[in-house]
Structure 1
Amino acid sequence: MTARLDTMDEREMPTKNFFIGVDEHVQERPEVWTKRLSHANWGDRIPHVKKNSNGVERWVVDGRETLLDGVADCGAVMPDRTKNPQRWSEVPAAVYDAKERLKVMDGAGIDYAVLYPTVAGSGGQNFGRIEDPELELACVQAYNDWLLEEWVSVSDRFIPQCLAPLFPVDAAVKEIRRSVANGHKGVIYPSVPMELRDVPHINESVYDPLWAACQELGVPICFHAGASSAIQIPAYEGYSPTIAAAFQAIARPASSVSVLVNLLISKILMRFPELKVVLAESGLGWGAYLLEYTDYQAKGDQLPQNGYDLMPSEMFRRNCYVVGWYDQASLRVRKYIGSENILWSSQFPLATSTWPNTKEALTRSFDGVDVNDRQKILWENAAKLYKIEL
């Protein structure tokens, strides 16, 4: 790199190698599935946009409306950040058009964007609820192929991650192998599959081929915060829509706590020591607490005497990554998490995104953070994880 990063003065920041956004969201166009799936086979079960009697539009998957309050999840680019567009005609192009997204990335200083879905659910949960395995696979494959055809083909600055069928596991592994061979660099999977369908707990050995495939292929498996209702309490019915949205946004990162604790205690990471796990939209604030307390509890419960060859914090630092975007205080105590285990994002175009003030937010967050740690968090960790050429 030619520019110095020991100060966050924008005049000294490079136009390239600024940062890799590891949790950015695409909005699927209405025709993604209607053009790719057989209407003769699936009819209205195909994911599509439906206009309701009151004139608003909603996404329907397998005959059920998704929980998305709107036709896109893009509060950051709306006149009122608390309100998603209710009709497709209101959705800004930068949300669904790859060329327009590149302009946003340039303005925010994002060199590469690791992509997550919207209609499928940020963790793939909306497709995981589909009972028919053939329809589920068709929906998953259509998304995976569309992402390559309409985003990655436009620019290699878009880093694709594939969805996988929830179950059976051999179908998930087959699709992961196909997708990675085609260019996908990560795997998105529901963190609590048994809440979506009548399938085994994720700790059961039946999932071992999933972990093994990700480890063998060298791609991270990604669990997105907020993708499971089983580890979150619902918003109070008496809240206004604005307050309910605020509650959900604030509570969402905490859902990563249970996911990580389970990974550390389940011995999954012991059986698959080279598996890499990303906890997307996790935030950083709970990281130091969790690692300290998990180690403390592990000693008290004598985990080392019960077949654990590493402490939980050691497994975390070997295998796991958390994602920041607004965090300031947690970066001051980053040594308790580990600078090698922190990634960064802008969360575009979600309401919680730092857009349109991403550069200013970055300056605030990294004030006082030394150059080596900045390089790791903003660039090097993600480049290594997703095999991005420096």
Structure 2
Amino acid sequence: MSVIPRIISVDDHVIEPADVWTSRLPAAYVERAPRIHIAPKGEMTLVEGAWVEAPGDGDEMAAWWHFEGRRYQIKRMVACPGMPPEEVTMEGVTYDDIAPGCYDPVARVADMEANHVEASLCFPNYPRFCGQLFSEVEDRTLGRLCIEAYNDFMIDEWCGDSAGRLIPLCVVPLWDPQLAAAEVRRNAARGCRAVAFSELPSWLGLPSIHTRHWDPFFQACEETSTVLAMHIGSGTKTVTTSPDAPTVVAANLIACNSVASMVDWLFSGVFDRFPGIQLLYAESQIGWIPYFVERADDTWQTHQWAQGEERSQRPPSDYYREHISACFFKDTVGIDLLDRIGEDNVLFETDYPHQDGTFPRSKQVAEELFGHLPQPTINKIARGNAIKLLGLDFEP
């Protein structure tokens, strides 16, 4: 009888403690550091693909991050492990309202233990999924210091005493590929093997991957075996159909971000220049992959006129198999197509503590999704592929 081994989740999240930046920035910058204020809960609206929010005037309080004139309330939907869907809202919360495992590493490991999870890779929450908040500030020194402080927190505090069970994921200065490369190397020397990057940097107003702009950064990732981890929505925008479409439309279409990103990478030429580079798509699910890889191969062959002098010598499917992994936790279609996707390219996640997350039923969810597969395949999806990709010190 097949069994689900202890899971290594490659997409979870940390709700940053209130003192991450105030306790780590140099004295001259502490007053400008991101900090928490308790203020009335506020409404939020989606404007041109981005969320806008401000405190209200009621009696119910929320924890608000304040930074450089920006305000963001910690919301129930991003800190609700195990909560029934009917109880999940977009309302603001305080730290007292949420599970300690959201922000405390000891409590997180305890929740992992209860959830059949051996190790977890955690993306940022407040700085957004690739830390782009700190690349948007005008004072680049402040932005760099905030990035370094976050990475110090991630490696030393969040992951430091977990015996490898919390896996570090760093962020970098996106405005300067040389600085980004230096930060990758700084953190790789401390055992960090993953860096958060944007699915679609041009959506952040940055150069695309079709330029050579990012080559110093990509070179550092290749040299240090650092995986580029791209969380769904890390282009900041969400795809929707119209300004008056309900938010659930964007929730369904957000996989389009990852689709666009993967096709971008397959035709970018980056894999030819950096044959050791590895990508991880997080929370993208996997069922869409076979069609778009097949379509990329077809257009590579039939649309040669549209590719110019940079046309690669190999079909896109080769690059996909060798360089791209994706993780899932809600995708029966993807499992049905696993032979087309490739069992070596698929990893599992729990998305703790977000509303979509599978806590505390991750083992049962895994059993329902892929527990019928051969044991070697189960082992790869649940943990083996993550161990190989991230160079983890666990038994496969």
**Superposition TM-score, scaled by structure 2 size:** 0.87
Residue 7 of structure 1 is aligned with which of 2, 19, 28?
2
Q: Deviations over 1:9-39 (max 9, x none)?
A: xxxx5xxx42210111111101111111245
Equivalent in the alignment of 2:197: 189
Change (3 A) 1:213 1:255: same
Q: Partner letter of residue 272 of structure 2?
A: M
Change (3 A) 1:42 1:18: closer
Equivalent in the alignment of 2:359: 355
Aligned pairs (5 A) from 1:51-66 = 51-52=38-39, 54=57, 55-66=61-72
CA shift for structure 1 position 234: 7.5
> Does residue 81 of the first structure (1) align with residue 88 of the second (2)?
yes
Equivalent in the alignment of 1:258: 260
Equivalent in the alignment of 2:174: 166
Retained in 2: the 8 A contact 1:121–1:127? Answer: no
Q: Partner letter of residue 68 of structure 2?
A: D
Equivalent in the alignment of 2:45: none
Equivalent in the alignment of 1:3: none
Equivalent in the alignment of 2:18: 30
Equivalent in the alignment of 1:91: 98
Retained in 1: the 8 A contact 2:371–2:378? Answer: no
> Does residue 335 of the first structure (1) align with residue 339 of the second (2)?
yes
Retained in 2: the 8 A contact 1:114–1:158? Answer: yes
Q: Partner letter of residue 7 of structure 1?
A: S
Change (3 A) 1:215 1:124: same
Tell me, in whole angstroms, the C-alpha distance in 2 between the residues paired with 1:71 and 1:131: 30
SS in 2 for 1:31: coil
SS in 1 for 2:261: helix
Residue 314 of structure 1 is aligned with which of 312, 315, 318?
318
CA shift for structure 1 position 194: 3.8
Amino-acid identity (%)? 27
Retained in 2: the 8 A contact 1:71–1:88? Answer: no
Equivalent in the alignment of 1:249: 251
Change (3 A) 1:192 1:329: closer
Change (3 A) 1:238 1:333: closer
Q: Partner letter of residue 21 of structure 1?
A: S
Change (3 A) 1:77 1:95: farther
Aligned pairs (5 A) from 1:209-228 = 209-228=216-235
SS in 2 for 1:140: helix
Q: Partner letter of residue 337 of structure 1?
A: I
SS in 1 for 2:11: strand
Gaps of 5+ in 1: 1-5
Residue 154 of structure 2 is aligned with which of 143, 147, 150?
147
Retained in 2: the 8 A contact 1:128–1:190? Answer: no
Equivalent in the alignment of 2:50: none
Number of residue pairs aligned between Structure 1 and Structure 2:
370
Retained in 2: the 8 A contact 1:123–1:191? Answer: no
Cα RMSD for the two superposed structures: 2.3
CA shift for structure 1 position 89: 2.1
